[in-house]
Amino acid sequence: MSEIKPTDPAATNAGEEKDWAAAKAFFDSLKTRKPRPPKPQYAVTIAVSSRTLFNMVAERKIYEEEGVEKYVTFQQEHENEPLMPGVAFPLVKALMTVNSRLRQLYPDSEELFDIVLMTNNHAQVGVRLINSINHYDLTIERFCMTGGKSPIGYLKAYMTNLYLSKDGEKVTEAIEEGIAAATMFASGDVENQLSDTQLKVAFDGDAVLFSDESEIIVKQHGLDTFFEHEKEFENKPLAQGPLKCFLEALGKLQRKFYAKNERMTCPIRTYLVTARSAASSGARVLKTLRSWGLEIDEALFLAGAPKGPLLQKIRPHIFFDDQMFHIEGAKELGTIAAHVPYGIGQKYHKGELIEQPVKDKK
């Protein structure tokens, strides 16, 4: 079995095998025959926060205006009312669709998506969250409710491949810990228009899949220098960015479909949506991907044109970009956008350097 995560020798010990065996026994014994979650070290683990999975805007308001005790009481009182779907909901459904297809083709494989609910909510709020998960019949069997403490440490413990949250600070912390993460933004009602048979994931290039080294050149020396630089270093692969590993994980799952002759009906499709232009700076990007052994299904070079209209046509379940300017443009036209707070782009807004307040290290 190919590894999606590095095997930690300390991790595969007898105690863990027993836990795993017990879980297998438990799920096999259930009359409902619900699928058991995959072994974490082989799975592509996606951790979602409660506010990305469900719409908790009204509840959040209570928390902010009336405090945690009133908030928890409110949630308990409304425990049996399912929450409305949140911004990551379509993505979760698409991941479940891919899992069904994978299970059909590879019934004994642990290489599946594993969706984990990672929230710093109080455990008593958890009852409403679980009831809501039950209501929509989502395959989320693992969760961490940390009762107010930061969930970041648990991301590593669950071998998370991607973390999605509405809280930019947590996302930044995760990226600093080396975990692919993005802050999700609401985009209005797009669920009906998204594909329910194919997971579509769109990535920006610089400072998302790749490092921000080239973006630094643009910001500090301008476009002309950037084009010259990219042409000169066309054959030198760019360094990797925070979401490269996630693309890699998607690629490994895609190849499982190709191996069974399902390339044309592969339920995962990836897109590169970059402001680079194909003629002058695109080659380096494609060559870098090739040097990493990664494929991307569609590479779209916009040469500086706005990303919004193109994304509207693609209708991805999620679009990752490091620049808020592009996130806002995507959102305006209904795309589910996720901000990756990484690299030099965070210091600029619409080309202007932002005054950074001195960061308070807690």
Catalytic residue set: 204
Least distance (Å) between residue 334 CB and another protein: 32
Instruction: Give 109 or 131: the residue with its C-beta nearer to another protein.
Output: 131
Which residue from 40, 43, 45, 47 is spatially nearest to 118, judged by alpha carbons? 47
Q: State the Cα–Cα distance between residues 232 and 258, nearest whole angstrom.
A: 35
Least distance (Å) between residue 331 CB and another protein: 32
242: left (phi over 0), alpha (psi -120 to 50) or beta: alpha
Which residue from 162, 176, 68, 86 is spatially nearest to 123, judged by alpha carbons? 68
Instruction: Give 121 or 346: the residue with its C-beta nearer to another protein.
Output: 121
Contact residues: another protein, CB under 8 A: 11, 15-16, 18-31, 34, 36-37, 39-40, 68-69, 72, 122-124, 126-127, 130-131, 133-134, 140-149, 153-154, 156-158
Calculate ∠ Cα 320-205-287, nearest 5°. 145
Instruction: Give 49 or 335: the residue with its C-beta nearer to another protein.
Output: 49
Least distance (Å) between residue 267 CB and another protein: 24
- For tokens 């760019």, what's the residue? 238
Query: Of how many residues is the chain composed?
Result: 362
Least distance (Å) between residue 74 CB and another protein: 13
Least distance (Å) between residue 166 CB and another protein: 21
Instruction: Give 131 or 172: the residue with its C-beta nearer to another protein.
Output: 131
- For tokens 């194919």, what's the residue? 198
Instruction: Give 115 or 340: the residue with its C-beta nearer to another protein.
Output: 115
